[in-house]
Amino acid sequence: METRLLRSFVVLAEEQHFGRAAARLHVAQPALSQQLKSLEQQVGARLLERTTRRVELTAAGRLLQERARGVLAALDRTAADLALVAAGRAGRVRLGFVGTATYELLPSVARRVRSELPEVELELHGEQLAPALLDSVVADDLDLAVLRPAGPPPAGLVVQELRREPLLVALPAGHRLAGQERVGLAELAGEPLVAHPGGRRSTLQPLVLDACRAAGFEPEVIEVGETGTLVALVAAGLGFGLVPEAVRALRLDGVVHRPLAGAPVEVPLALVHREGPSALVQRVAEAVRTAAATP
């Protein structure tokens, strides 16, 4: 059944007059009559009864009018949605965040996308570890990932640095050094370090351990999988942490964050996606870049 015939029939049913309907449709009246005849042949039922004064819908005509309006409205919505998708303004984007970017950057990105791309559905995954995020992008389980890069990326991925953040010392609020404006890392020698997992499970722990070694000590490490747990263990007095500045956004009671004395130790934050991203993924990526650059 041609949508052109349905549209003509709906207008004719509304006007109940061939002349007025033909004028609205910008067609000749005989052409409209032919369209109606073709439609009636296709549906196998008479849709209109003509009298000398007016056109009346049959029972079949009233049913088709009701159904046709719904069908045409759905088609129009679909066409509009497809145009948005083609323009990169609608659809679903799967976005993952490393734990240390979850509390500060994830909400900012979500607000920006909701404001600038209201037709986009964001599927957000927070508190992930960087190697797992890379694997998910490679496997096409995520479209974009915000993480702490380390070494060359897997083939087929594009990595763009968003910013660099200084490491801060996270201390229990009652710690002997909590009142200092800055903390020398060497002053924490002999105390346990609460950190993300080692090996391939995290890219941040090697950076944190390198900072401790540069300060002259090898810390005992308490490994945790999530940033929220790391900060909670620091608050409980189990050790100190070295965390990117963005972790301040967690705002957990019982923890203070202090800059390191001396030259800052900075860690990168990057955006990762597969080569040749869609227009939609590119738009969301731009929203992430803007949010990351906004103080």
State pLDDT tens for residues 227-271. 999 999 999 999 999 999 999 998 899 999 999 998 889 999 999
pLDDT for the residue 22: 87
Which residues touch 30 (CB under 8 Å, ≥6 apart)?
none
Q: Which of 5-9, 153-157, 222-226, 257-261 has the highest mean pLDDT?
A: 257-261
In terms of pLDDT, which residue wins out, 28 or 52? 28
E strand intervals along the chain: 48-50, 55-57, 91-98, 120-128, 144-147, 157-172, 193-195, 221-223, 241-244, 255-259, 266-274
pLDDT for the residue 84: 66
164 pLDDT higher than 70: yes
pLDDT for the residue 85: 65
Cα atoms in the 13 Å half-sphere on the side-chain side of 197? 13
DSSP state at residue 72: H
Could you tell me which of 152, 194, 147 has the C-alpha nearest to residue 175?
A: 194
pLDDT tens, 129-149? 888 899 999 999 999 999 998
Global pTM value: 0.70
Mean pLDDT over residues 199-223, rounded?
Answer: 90
Distance, in Å, from the CA atom of 39 to the CA atom of 29, rounded to the nearest integer, reads: 15
Cβ atoms of residues 177 and 171 within 8 Å: yes
Q: Which domains are assigned to the chain?
A: 3-86 (1.10.10.10), 91-163+268-293 (3.40.190.10), 166-266 (3.40.190.10)
Could you tell me which of 58, 57, 45 has the C-alpha nearest to residue 21?
A: 57
pLDDT tens, 33-87? 898 888 888 888 898 887 766 788 898 888 888 888 888 888 877 776 676 666 6
Distance, in Å, from the CA atom of 228 to the CA atom of 251, rounded to the nearest integer, reads: 10
Mean pLDDT over residues 167-187, rounded?
Answer: 96
Q: Which of 17-21, 46-50, 153-157, 170-174 has the highest mean pLDDT?
A: 170-174
In degrees to the nearest 10, what's the CA dihedral of 122, 145, 228, 164? -120
